Structure 1
Amino acid sequence: MTPRSDTENRRTARAATRSGRVRRQLAAVVACGLLAVGCSKAGTAGTASDGSGGDAPVKVGLVYSKTGPLAAYGKQYIEGFRAGLDYATKGTGKVDGHRVELSVQDDAGDPAKAVSEAKDLIGKGCTILAGSTSSGVALQVAPVAAQNKVLFISGPAAADKITGLNRYTFRSGRQSYQDIRTAAAFIGRDANGSKVTVLAQDSAFGQANVAAVKAVLGKEGATVKSVLAPPSATDLTPFAKQAKSSKPDLLFVAWAGDTASALWTSLTQQDVFSSTKVVTGLDLAASYPLFGPAATRISFLNHYFDGAAQTDVERAMTDAVQKAGSTPDIFTPDGFTAAQMIVHAVQTAKGADDTSAMVKALEGWSFDGVKGRLTVRAEDHALLQPMFQVKLTGSDKSPKPAVVQTLPADEVAPPVAPMAG
């Protein structure tokens, strides 16, 4: 199933002669999520908020979903951010003497609310914004950052449009194209003449998945259709029926949020798995049991799961998160990476007052992240990174993920996007 963001799931189609060909040609996209967890307005660095006693503080505004349909992902992001800030500042909460202060707001997944909160934070002196996991939120906050010339680092939001949106906008997570390219490498490239149906939510995230599948598989000769459900829908049976009735060779499921369980239940009840090849992204750990007996029949692409990377940075993140009483999950690295990027930008720019200097500091920067070597592409601010092909093994009630293959960053890199203003 997929997360978010922005989550996903795939099932339906007829098993015919083409089915084998479609298996190679699949593409999937993982969902994205949103951030949660409350935080006092001035607290992360453990220092006063009035700027007394030393260099001017670095004021960072995190706008994320403490509540709302994607709030489960928020906890992961904020825990990763705190661990990353501690790691990047070597436990001091300071960057070259500048105290890092967080002001955290709950957008509840509402873009209008997020925009209002972003403007309020900027008005209070925040020169750096971060936190968006919802694509809809990120796409609205990014223009605000550009208008006010502040640095914006989007989180798990997967929409490809965020890349190259403006010179002030970066991302600390992956994007839809990287998900799709991971799936294409897993399954193969002979899609000519195949029928693919994308089952997703009618949201920025879902629409981005449809666009990405069309961009990759459509250009290779596949006919791509979509079944989009309103994000507020709770009865998903009609949409499962529509997906099955389209009789695709491949069902690509991209889903995020609290209704994922209901979606997989509907797909199972409609007996989708008996007639199609399903590809989807592997979501947060709590979702693994929802696949039931179908888990071993699904091809998963994955942004991250606990233990996937086996890097020194991952071990540092894991230790910090576990000491805080939690466990890393799919979007924990996005928070960790955001903190690394912010600290590097401030350190190189010698403070947070010069946004242009912070932008230049991040453009072209390569560094060791949780997943391995990461690079901020200078031309459009895409975050180039490894991706994982994964399978689930073990019992239906307690399946465990295992890496089938790690794809290097250059193999899943999105095409360069033209940089807007």
Structure 2
Amino acid sequence: MRKPLLATLLMTFAAAAVTAATAAAAADVATAGPAPGEPIRIGMVEGMSGSFANAGEAVARNLRLAIENVNARGGVRLPDGRHPLALSIFDNKQGVEESLIEFRRLSDQRISFMVQGNSSAVALALVDAVNRHNERMPQQRMLFLNYSAVDPALTNEKCSFWHFRFDASADMRMHALTEVIRQDGHAKKVYLIGQDYSFGRQTAKAARGMLTAKRPDIAIVGDELHPIGKVKDFSPYVAKIRASGADTIVTGNWGNDLTLLVKAVRDAGLEVKFYTFYGNGLGAPAAIGDAGVGRVRAVAEWHPNAGGEGSDAFYQAFGKRYPAPEDDYVHMRMHLMIAMLAGAIEKAGSTEAGAVARALEGAQFRNGFHHATMRAADHQLLQPLYVSVMQKKGEGVRFDNEGSGYGFRTERYLSEPETALPTSCNMVRPAH
């Protein structure tokens, strides 16, 4: 009996020593950060090939310019001096499994800050992956900064201390759109169409609920979901829309799924209004043409004709960096995300994920024409939203989109408090 007892004691002491060593290593790594002068790396997991490559490329352009702006000011200040930011791109081909493979590559490279956004299905999988990684590797924790994945679950039932969203949720965007529809006396029959995944389903649910509450007289004459990124010809869907008698289309479609949809509607000569999440870029204005003037609306945290101190200069600086018309798609939220990350690292005095997360909670962004606050309760950024309507350049529109000759004019502005919606998040916070 003595040998087993001795073996058990030795194993207990060994386990305790390993635990203590792991804790010490975790503390060492947590405070270490990059070596003096080394860049602080940001890993972008996004679709850079396939059907939505144009959306991934648009993100990369915005992030690169935002990073260049931080670096032009000397980089990020830490106790050992200043560090530049650097972007590393991991192509997930817009798939969930590919995203998890790229996540492992990113974590193997010990990158502390991951950014992603062009798919809520991917974002939900990555939140789970980050949660597991940070629990398993406390000495190498990472933050997930989300610039476009708008499924409300990400800041409600699936909220995580390690995830921050810098875009308005689908519910927030739909709230803004339906506030305009509430006043649209011509809207009588609405057709809902979207992509068949978590985001598309949530968008349809939000539209139905909000329209019922705000405009009970409106008839929802269609509620259609289609495969994401696989439909090349939307004419069968347009035939259904025509048969329904719809006068208004509400869609959260993005990328080529939006461009091909609006092209099919235009080619069919169908005169309907579009209320969209993303109808102001990635080829959509040119695809719609004259048929969209006064008919197509989009919702965003900012747009080139928003005006205000510094807004024109911000937009023109982007155009100077990326002069090609097809590159003209500016996301304010991505620029403020990088600026807020840099500010949080400086406030924390560290690149350790937990310290930076705490510095981000309650942080504010202000640049003279835009203001935003990161809500600590659910890590949802609160910021104004603009609903804008498509017009020809020169008709109250100073800047057009993508050289199309068509731009967007503000129709409704919702202030930061007006866009905030309640959250059901019950966040689990780490002890340290």
Identify which of 400, 410, 426 aligns with 1:419.
Answer: 426
After TM superposition, the structure 1 = structure 2 runs for residues 235-250 of structure 1, keeping only pairs within 5 Å, are: 235-248=233-246, 250=248
Summarize the alignment of residues 75-114 of structure 1 with structure 2, pairs less than 5 Å apart. 75-96=57-78, 97-114=82-99
Where does residue 410 of structure 2 map in the other structure? 403
Cα contact 1:377–1:384 (8 A) shared by 2? yes
Which protein, 1 or 2, shows the higher relative CO under an 8 Å CA cutoff with sep ≥ 6? 1
Structure 1 counterpart of 2:338, one-letter code: A
**Kept after mapping to 2: 8 A contact 1:78/1:332:** no
Instruction: Flag the 1:259–1:194 CA change in 2: closer, same or farther, 3 A.
Output: closer
Post-superposition offset of 1:360: 1.3
2:343 maps to 1:344: yes
Shift of 1:51: 5.2
Q: Percent identity?
A: 20
Distance in 2 (alpha carbons) for counterparts of 1:389 and 1:202: 25
1:29-69 residue CA offsets vs partner (Å, 9 max, x unmatched): xxxxxxxxxxxxxxxxxxxxx955x2665332111222222
SS in 2 for 1:137: helix
Structure 1: how far apart are the matches of 2:337 and 2:88? 15
CA contact (8 A) 1:107 1:117 kept: yes
Q: State the alpha-carbon separation in 2 of the partners of residues 265 and 315 from structure 1.
A: 32
Structure 1 pair 215/55, CA: closer, same or farther in 2 (3 Å)? Answer: farther
Q: CA deviation at 1:374?
A: 0.6
Q: Say whether 1:161 aligns with 2:132.
A: no
Residue of structure 2 in register with 1:124 after alignment: 109
Structure 1 CA distance, aligned partners of 2:151 and 2:99? 17
Pair 106,215 (structure 1): closer, same or farther in 2 beyond 3 Å: same
Q: Which has the larger radius of gyration?
A: 2
What is the aligned partner in structure 2 of residue 257 from structure 1? Answer: 255
C-alpha displacement at 1:152, in angstroms? Answer: 0.5
Residue of 380, 383, 390 corresponding to 1:382:
380
Q: Distance in 1 between matches of 2:321 and 2:268?
A: 44
In the superposition, the TM-score normalised over structure 2's length comes to: 0.75
Runs of 4+ in 1 over 4 A off after TM superposition: 222-225, 324-331
Match of 1:171 among 149, 165, 168: 165
Which residue of 2 is the match for residue 295 of structure 1?
292
The alpha carbon displacement at 1:169 in A equals 0.6
Aligned-residue Cα RMSD (Å) equals 3.0
Q: What is the DSSP-based 3-state SS (H/G/I as helix, E as strand, rest coil) of the residue aligned with 1:264? A: helix
Q: CA deviation at 1:370?
A: 8.3
The alpha carbon displacement at 1:317 in A equals 6.3
Partner SS for 2:356: helix
Whether contact under 8 Å (2:195, 2:226) holds in the other structure is: yes
8 Å Cα contact 2:195/2:253 also seen in 1: yes
Post-superposition offset of 1:258? 2.0
Say if 1:129 and 1:413 are closer, same or farther in 2 by CA, change over 3 A: same
Distance 1:314 1:341, change over 3 A: farther
**How far did residue 184 of structure 1 move?**
2.0
**Do the aligned residues in 2 keep the contact of 1:227 with 1:243 (CA within 8 Å)?**
no
Contact persistence 1:79–1:321 (CA under 8 A): no
Residue segments in structure 2 that go unaligned for 5+ positions in a row = 1-32, 135-141, 394-399
Whether the 8 Å contact between 1:98 and 1:351 is mirrored in structure 2 is: no
Query: Does the alignment pair 1:280 with 2:262?
Result: no
How far residue 129 of structure 1 moved from its aligned partner, in angstroms, is 0.7
1:363/1:373 CA distance change after superposition, 3 Å: same
Distance verdict in 2 for CA 1:202–1:223, change over 3 Å: same
CA 1:110–1:213: 2 relative to 1, 3 Å:
same
AA of the residue aligned to 2:421: P
Q: TM-score, normalised by structure 1?
A: 0.77
SS of residue in 1 equivalent to 2:308: coil
Consecutive unaligned residues in structure 1, runs of 5 or more = 1-49
Q: Distance in 2 between matches of 1:265 and 1:190?
A: 24
Equivalent position of 2:132 in the other structure: 147
Q: CA deviation at 1:218?
A: 3.4
User: What is the DSSP-based 3-state SS (H/G/I as helix, E as strand, rest coil) of the residue aligned with 1:389?
Assistant: strand
Q: 1:176 to 1:373 in 2, by over 3 A?
A: same
State the aligned residue count: 367
Please give the alpha-carbon distance, in whole angstroms, between the structure 1 residues aligned to 2:197 and 2:46: 17
CA distance in 1, matches of 2:77, 2:324: 26
Q: Deviations over 1:275-311 (max 9, x none)?
A: x554234331632122233212415132133343434
Work out which of the residue numbers 204, 211, 214 in structure 2 matches 1:210.
204
Letter in 1 for 2:211: L
Given that residues 73 and 331 in structure 1 are in contact (C-alpha distance below 8 angstroms), is that contact kept between their aligned partners in structure 2?
Answer: no
One-letter code aligned to 1:346: I
Q: Is the 8 A contact 1:200 1:254 kept in 2?
A: yes
